[in-house]
Amino acid sequence: MSNRIWKLSVLLAVCAGLLSYDAAAWGPRSQKAIAGTTIQVIRRTYPSAFKTEDISYDEDVLRGANGDPNILNNGNPFVREEDAIIAVENGIRLLREVRKYGFGSYFSYRMGLLGALAADLVLPYSVDTTAQGQRIREQMEPDIDAALDRFSFTSEIPKIKYIRNAEIYFGERRAFFADSKRMIADDYLHGKRFDGYLKEGAQVFFTRAVTSVADVWNTVLHIEGEVGDVAPSEKMVISYLVSEIQYLLQEKRNFNQALRSYGNFELVAKYAAEAYDKVGDLFYAFGTEEGKERGVREWRIAYDMPGADRRAIGKKLSEHYVRVGEALLAAAQRPGASDQDLPNALNAFTQALDFDQTSQAAAQRINEANVAINERKERRAVNVNIIASAEKVKVQAEKARVNGDFGNAITTYTQAIGLYQAIDDEFTDQSSVAKQSVMEIGKSITDIINQVLDAASDEIDKGDKAVTAHQFEDATASYERVPNIVSVIPGDETTTHGKEKIDIIAQAKKKIEDSKLAKSKFEEQERQRKALAETGPAKAAPAAPAAPAAPVLPAAKAAPAAKTGRN
């Protein structure tokens, strides 16, 4: 881009995407264009104007350019053009004074506002409050905005000025103002509108606006002051710093930056109760818990300052503490509420009444909190008695278990569970004790049931061994003892233990039937054995015919016996 010709199409692109606000004189597009162009002009002298190495504040400047210049008049409309000129001069003094606090978002925004008012002062009818002046301005501004793309800022790198006297400066800038206003009025009254004097004159006014804003900004940014410069009042500086906090909270939504600006405010506003009250309003309205806490802190500081409107501030503090107490009162009704909720609620309501003795809400809530505290104590005492009773029943159950009286142990344990389950979640400590005890009792009952099932299994094993030893009566007796053993187990087929109970009873019944069959089979075998023993071996088959006898031969005569030598 040339150093001599500044094209508005480029500068308007800088403004793209920013919010538009109603301007007091130049239309929204024109004010942005004037501010955007002036930023480029001023940076030829101050390269770091409205920016740091990491942050650009151009958006804040443009936001100010489209803001309400009446802010520079304490929010009041300018009745006379002379008042607007005075506001520019005061604005310059103020911004020169607050430069020491930094060139951040709000400083840039105020520079935009100041520039917008300076631009208004060089455009006819911008600060005209007559009925005719307002009608002409309402038609003129959109016409200029519509023709904005035809404008350009043409200048031989102007030498920006230091404004020593705003009245003299703008008097020179408005030397032919009356003639311009007369010709513009004639054009709009006779239908020519923008195609008359403004067709050429609007460009002149635009260029004059850019140079005027550049001169105003230069006067603020110029480091050296002038002899006789008048510093703004402390009240003006305090008001600026309060507005800075407001801008950072409401427009930028930057709580931490607002806290940093508060440090500057605190240095200046040592005894400004009204300012602290306002800052408290701003922080509280930010909406976060952190913001509310900070707001209350500022209100309390203001409340204790001389000259504070203690009644108004006390009412805000009272309403805050009522809200805090009501939140605690509601929290105390929830399961697991802290024992401190109700006492803290009572304390909050008491503070509310301290700050506003006329608060009926605070007085009523104090009564409600006291009633709630007493009722809670009573409920806790009831729970203490229930838990003590449950502990006694639990001890009885354990004695029965040790004595092997499993049925009575399970029944007594179950009674203890019923007592523990009467403890709800209102008191966390009691609820935890009750739930833990129920878990422990449940485990004890499970252990007993497992022990009973083991005993029943042992009887079935004894029965099986008796069957093997053909002691069928003993076996049946063992099997028949099983239902009685497991009868202490609670529950039906819908529970795990109930199903195990039914299964083992069914198993025992089947074992009885099997034992009967085994007995019958064994007895039959015994009868067969006895019968066999009584009849002997089975009869043999008929013998075969004997073979003929062999003939008997005559025996040989025996030799005479020999005689021995004994007589």
What sign for the dihedral angle of Cα 143, 149, 150, 152? positive
Nearest to 505 by CA among 494, 521, 493: 493
Token output for 547: 């073979």
In the prediction, which pLDDT does 60 show?
Answer: 96
DSSP state of 148: G
For each of the chain's 567 residues, which pLDDT tens digit applies?
Answer: 344 444 443 344 334 333 333 334 588 899 999 999 999 999 999 999 999 989 999 999 999 999 988 899 988 888 889 999 999 999 999 999 999 998 999 999 999 999 999 999 999 988 888 888 889 989 998 999 888 888 877 655 568 999 999 999 999 988 888 899 999 999 999 999 989 999 989 999 999 999 999 999 999 999 886 646 788 999 999 999 999 999 999 999 999 999 999 999 999 998 899 999 999 999 999 999 999 999 999 999 999 999 999 999 999 999 999 999 999 999 999 988 899 999 999 999 999 999 999 999 999 999 999 999 999 999 999 999 999 999 999 999 999 999 999 999 999 999 999 999 999 888 889 899 999 999 999 999 999 999 999 999 999 999 999 999 999 999 999 999 999 999 999 878 788 888 998 999 999 999 999 999 999 999 889 899 999 888 866 544 555 554 444 444 344 443 343 333 333
What sign for the dihedral angle of Cα 510, 515, 518, 519? negative
The answer to whether the pTM exceeds 0.85 is no
Token output for 1: 């881009």
Q: What is the per-residue burial (b if ≥16 Cβ within 10 Å, else e) of 374-409?
A: eebeeeeeebeebbeebeebbeebbebbeeeebebb
**DSSP letter string over 470-488?**
T-HHHHHHHHHHHHHHHTT
Instruction: For residue 537, give the 3-state DSSP assignment.
Output: coil
DSSP state of 187: H
Q: Delineate the domains of the chain, giving CATH numbers in brackets.
A: 5-230 (1.10.575), 233-307 (no CATH), 441-529 (1.20.58)
What are the DSSP E strand ranges found in 425-464? none
In the prediction, which pLDDT does 224 show?
Answer: 80
